[in-house]
């Protein structure tokens, strides 16, 4: 069974035809995250920047008494040049302590993404992006980037970056 899968389609989850993804916009890029990995979404929340911290960290927020670290994907991927953080939406990701989140300019939609629309990111993106983005999908003429959540929140993985 697994052998057959590998043969036909190298992408995981292939036994399901599609999955639900939360689509959000940051800078001028669209990103998608499997909705089963998301804990919750908080819109219109002010992120407190942490001085002297790594550039890709947008800051911290308080969600129901917990201090949540917010990662700025656009900065991590070097899409953003300026340091100004607009009011933003924060997507909390299901992790061990649920204390990690991703910043977004705006939440767009929840979409069904067919599995066979996912393509390997390396043919579309540069080296730095491929480090954190596994797959891309072209949906309604928009390129949606599917980041590897684990790598983004792995402090080891990103610690060498500025």
Partner 1 sequence: MDELLKTFISDAQDILIDLEENILKLESEITKDNIDTIFRQVHTIKGNSSLFDLSQMSNLTHKFETTFSKVRNETLDIDQGKIDVFLKIIDVLNQMVANIEEANQYKIDGLLQDLDNMQNQKSDSDEVKPKPKKKPKKAKPRKKKSSKKDVKDAALFLASLNEELDFLEDKIVSLENEPEPASISELKIKFESYVLSATEFDQDKLVQLFLNLFLFFDLIEKDKIKIDVDTIDLALLSLVYVRNATTAGENVSNLEYNEVINSFKSMELLSDALVEYNKSMPKSKKSSTKKSEDTRKSAGRGKKKTEEKKSDDVKKKNAIRILKSTVDEARKLNKFLFLFKYTNVTELNKIEEYYGKQLESTIIEIFDFSKRDDRKICYLLVTSSEDIREKAALFTILYDRVKIIHEPDVALKIEESVKSVEKPELPAPQTKPESKTTHLKVPIELIDQLINLAGESIVARNEIIQKINSIDSPTLVSSGNKISSLITRLQKNIMRTRMQPVSVLYQRIPRIVRDVSKVLNKKVNLIMDGTDVHLDSTLLDAISDPIMHIVRNAIDHGLESQDERRKLKKTETGMLKIIASLHGGNVILTIVDDGKGVDLKKVKEKIIEKGLASKDTVAGLQDDEILNFIFEPGFTTTTKVTTTSGRGVGMDVVRSSINKVGGTVDIKTVFNKGTTITITLPQTLSIITCQILKIGNRRFALPQQNLVSLVDLEETRVSYVEDHIMYKFHNELIPIFESDKILELNDDGSGKENETKEKFIAVVKTEQYQFGLIFDDILNSEEIVIKPLGKHFLGLNWFSGATILGDGEAILILDIPGMARELNVRHILTNKIMRETKEEPSTVNNSLSEGNYLVFRVFDQQFAISTREKPKIIKLAPDSLDHLLAFSVIEHRGTIVPLFELNKYYEINIIPEKKQRFAVMFHINDQDIGIVVTDIVNVIDNIPPFDQVNFSDETIDGASLIEEKPTMVLNSKNLLEKYLNEYEMQNTAVT
Residue numbers at the binding site for partner 1 (CB under 8 A): 48-54, 57, 60-62, 65-69, 71, 83-84, 99-100, 153, 155, 158-159
- Residue 2 or 83 having the CB closest to partner 1: 83
Distance CA 60, CA 54 (A): 12
- Residue 31 or 153 having the CB closest to partner 1: 153
Distance CA 50, CA 123 (A): 35
Smallest gap, in angstroms, from Cβ of residue 62 to partner 1?
Answer: 4
Distance CA 9, CA 4 (A): 8
Smallest gap, in angstroms, from Cβ of residue 132 to partner 1?
Answer: 14
Smallest gap, in angstroms, from Cβ of residue 43 to partner 1?
Answer: 16
* Burial class of residue 15 in the structure, from the number of CB atoms within 10 Å of its CB (0-12 exposed, 13-18 middle, 19+ buried): exposed
- Residue 92 or 135 having the CB closest to partner 1: 92
- Residue 50 or 138 having the CB closest to partner 1: 50
Decide if 145 contacts 136 (C-beta within 8 A). yes
């Amino acid at each position: 069974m697994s052998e057959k899968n590998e043969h036909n389609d190298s992408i995981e989850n292939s036994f399901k035809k599609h999955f639900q993804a939360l689509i959000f916009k940051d800078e001028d890029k669209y990103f998608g995250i499997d909705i089963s990995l998301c804990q919750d979404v908080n819109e219109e929340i002010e992120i407190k920047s942490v001085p002297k911290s790594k550039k890709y960290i947008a800051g911290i927020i308080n969600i129901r008494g917990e201090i949540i670290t917010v990662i700025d994907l656009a900065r991590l991927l070097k899409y953003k040049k300026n340091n100004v953080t607009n009011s933003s939406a924060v997507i909390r990701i299901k992790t061990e302590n649920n204390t990690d989140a991703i910043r977004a300019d705006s939440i767009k939609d929840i979409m069904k993404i067919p599995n066979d629309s996912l393509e390997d990111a390396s043919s579309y993106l540069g080296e730095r992006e491929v480090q954190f983005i596994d797959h891309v999908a072209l949906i309604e003429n928009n390129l949606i980037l599917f980041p590897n959540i684990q790598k983004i929140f792995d402090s080891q993985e990103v610690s060498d970056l500025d």
